[in-house]
Structure 1
């Protein structure tokens, strides 16, 4: 498909301004939360990305009236007529997203039953839904596996539970929150994820009438309530997209002002960005990122759950590290296959070696399991254009950065995956002076 291909002419710095809207890792979940209420909700700062379109469709299939508000990026959701959706329709909408598993809690509260088809999402490592199913069972849900998917029922309603996660999973934490807020009794969640997007979801639920407290030891306590109302909420900005543009500025010797970026959510990233040799300045409206000239510094880096260095920041930064002088070490501790994208960077002229050993001291989920999850990056490398096939969302944007930093024209396929989390990214690239185009335009100009 030609509309899934982008030609990237590299070798020029990215300069100018882009705007980031609400976080991909919050907005779809806040939309799901609207199902819990018995009154309409208003969500602002919503990006136009495919994950939002998928959840909008799923909500509409379940009887939620969803429409755009008066201001740009505003969604109005009325869940007062929630109903069971057709299994085939759910399957058609859900194939490319893992969001449907989060509808279970709200649907069990509203309808007493839910259906979940096979789940999609980025193939960056083992992302089992076992956490989710285990959580739902602890709340009293009954799960039946059938060829078309999972049927989930709560014949006696959901009851609060004491849950300890083996890993502070964002998805499992969201599942507990969405199931617990209307469950009977109190829920205590230990070893919870506490990412900014999780805290923002808690703010959404509290606006609806939920009773939730968060302690400093990763424990979240939820007192169930019988009913919830609607909410009016402005989503926090997407810190992951903001960091991607920062890395693009660094790798291309550019200068990008990211309007909407917020320091508080990005402090760990900003420290690393500065250690590598990048420069930034912060004002009330956003953050300016630029390459100050001179060589970049090699670093040792380990990903970790918040407040550590986020795994989604790793891939774009690795591209920038190919331009640093010396040996950089990256230890990926969250997703075991997230470094697989580096083989394409090596084809472009980078020198990156992968190891199954843990090259760092941060506790790792999959050490000794023979996954190549540590990388040694030797730089600086002169990158050259090649054909690139995008494997997942963050690797996809990272490939764009590499192609923009390289000499020559790269052909990038699978760009629809980037649309899952980057709003209007092609127009933003063009606004920064990038030379990108669809093959169709090339063919038409030749004709």
Structure 2
């Protein structure tokens, strides 16, 4: 299928679509299944490329994966886990950053793990040093080789105390997946506490883990000798839901997102309302719509949970190009997340990026040479253009911009969006968008 999408924009999105389980949780729960001695079942699984990548990695390591994509269920049987060939793992290297999270489970099951070079979206510095340092603190021996990183645990893994310099989601996941079967007690300070982390903790607790989360971002894990499989329904993808909400706002539309849930989205919903959007919550999902009239400019700062999620920022920025006045967005999570605004400026948006911390408190990027604040002046009509998708969330934002613009845009690199948005082209069509591939 062509990696190019034609979008004839300028019409409001209206209709109903469904979101399933969170990309940022489902893949981690799949990895967690390796820790169990019996099979696991995961429900509400979306059909996205990241799930396919992790499925391939699991199968390389001897895990039997039975999938029912229509029902959204996975059955994962890890009883025959084995080492995979370096070349086979390396074939997946550019597809995902998930391989680093296999380390803890594989060290517990096999005593060793091999991690190839890591891929993912190029939105800023995502060092794996946090991960490797954590593994070393548990007692792992890390050997960096030409093809990747070989990790062993000749004396087993032992509980430790870790304090993160920043509440990294990936580092917190690494610690959880390693600590649950390590000998002794592990304590993590300054942990990430995103809803996807809490759902992973729920899965591990179902497997037999002993994990407590304190109000001061401290997670304590008492290692156990044995874990079993789990049965779990994944929480909804709050990023995808917010992306469709922003698309409804930018196009003056009305989109009902079945499967979206309020508790994980409260911070987004508050901001959505401040901008001038309206929403209605019921037992099946959330309706997002533009009520008419002018949208409001806002001052916004991204932050770790329970703050405004960085992955919500890019889609909302497109909607802010249609708001009246000057909006300020200060990005504090990833230092290089405003590269996507180049394409928006090419479509007629008035956006300036700055190295200073604008509109909020100073952040860790304030003394470094990164454009991490943006000022958006609106409303500005957007014109159709030829667009190259830079990364997953930026790519969906460009898609929203193309839907908002009058005329036919050409969006290249559309397969990147498949990583995290299930059947997005079919959903666009269901909302009345005029889109097509060659």
TM-score of the superposition, structure 2-length normalised?
0.99
Secondary structure of 1:411's counterpart equals strand
Per the alignment, residue 14 of structure 2 pairs with: 15
Alpha-carbon distance between aligned partners in 1 of 2:267 and 2:253, rounded to the nearest angstrom:
21
Q: Note the C-alpha offset of 1:210.
A: 0.2
1:223 aligns with 2:222: yes
SS of corresponding position for 1:25: helix
- Hey, what does 2:379 align to over in structure 1? 380
Moved beyond 4 Å, runs of 4+: none
For residues 313-363 of structure 1, the C-alpha deviation after alignment (integer angstroms, 9 at most, x for no partner) is 000000000000000000000111101110110000000000000003335
Checking the alignment, whether the CA contact within 8 Å between 2:199 and 2:235 is kept in structure 1 is: yes
CA distance, structure 1, for counterparts of residue 204 and residue 417 of structure 2: 29
Distance in 2 between residues matched to 1:379 and 1:136, nearest whole Å:
48
Q: 8 Å contact 1:16–1:256 — kept in the other structure?
A: yes
Cα deviation for residue 3 of structure 1 reads: 1.3
Which segments of 5 or more consecutive residues in structure 2 lack a partner in the other structure? none
Q: Which runs of 5+ in 1 are unaligned?
A: 441-447
Count of aligned pairs: 438
SS at 2:374's partner residue? strand
Aligned to 1:444: none
Residues 325-364 of structure 1: pairs in structure 2 closer than 5 A: 325-364=324-363
Alpha-carbon distance in 2 for matches of 1:363, 1:105:
35
Displacement after TM superposition at 1:393 (Å): 0.3
Match of 1:288 in 2: 287
Q: Taking structure 1 as the reference length, what is the TM-score of the superposition?
A: 0.97
Shift of 1:368: 1.3
Distance in 2 between the 1:397 and 1:317 partners? 11
CA deviations 1:157-205 (Å, max 9, x no partner) are 1100100000000000000000000000000000000000000000000
Instruction: Provide the residue aligned with 2:236 in structure 1.
Output: 237
Can you list the C-alpha shifts for 1:124-174, whole angstroms capped at 9, x where unaligned? Answer: 000000100000000000000110000000001110010000000000000
Q: Retained in 1: the 8 A contact 2:335–2:372?
A: yes
- Residue 94 of structure 1 and its aligned partner are, at CA, apart by 2.8
| Alignment-derived partner of residue 111 in structure 1 | 110
Contact persistence 1:54–1:94 (CA under 8 A)? no
Who is 2:73 aligned against? Answer: 74
**Counterpart secondary structure, 2:340:** helix
What is the CA distance between 1:432 and its match in structure 2? 0.2
Question: 1:63 Cα shift?
Answer: 0.2
Partner Cα separation in structure 2 for residue 128 and residue 428 of structure 1: 34
| Mapped partners of 2:199, 2:391: distance in 1 | 25
Q: Which residue of 2 aligns with 1:166?
A: 165
Deviation at residue 96 of structure 1 after TM alignment:
1.4
- Which residue of the partner structure matches residue 400 of structure 1? 399
What is the alpha-carbon distance in structure 2 between the residues aligned to residue 358 and residue 222 of structure 1?
36
**Equivalent residue runs for 1:78-157 within 5 Å:** 78-157=77-156
Residue 214, structure 1, aligned to residue 213, structure 2: yes
Confirm or deny: 8 A CA contact 2:47 2:69 kept in the other structure: no
Query: Compared with structure 1, are the counterparts of its residues 400 and 69 closer, same or farther at alpha carbon in structure 2 (3 Å cutoff)?
Result: closer
- Provide closer, same or farther for how the CA distance between residues 69 and 388 of structure 1 changes in structure 2, counting only shifts above 3 A: closer
Whether the aligned pair in 2 keeps the contact of 1:256 and 1:288 (CA below 8 Å) is yes
CA spacing shift, 1:145–1:70, aligned 2, 3 Å: closer
- Asked if 2 retains the 8 angstrom alpha-carbon contact of 1:333 and 1:362, the reply is no
CA contact (8 A) 2:46 2:69 kept: no
| TM-superposed deviation, 1:71 | 6.9
Q: Hey, what's the Cα distance between the residues in 1 that align with 2:163 and 2:365?
A: 19
Question: 2-side partners of 1:336 and 1:236: how far apart?
Answer: 28
- What residue is the counterpart of 1:44 in the other structure? 43
Partner of 2:190: 191
d(CA) in 2 for partners of 1:373, 1:14? 30
Partner in structure 1 of residue 316 of structure 2: 317
Task: Please give the residue correspondences for 1:28-43 in structure 2 after superposition, counting only pairs within 5 Å.
Answer: 28-43=27-42
Q: Which moved more, 1:67-76 or 1:212-221?
A: 67-76
Matched, 1:272 2:271: yes
Post-superposition shift, 1:95?
1.6
Deviations 1:245-265 (A, max 9, x none): 000000000000000000000
How far off is 1:365 after superposition?
2.3
C-alpha distance in 1, partners of 2:230/2:269? 32
Which residue does the alignment assign to 1:201? 200
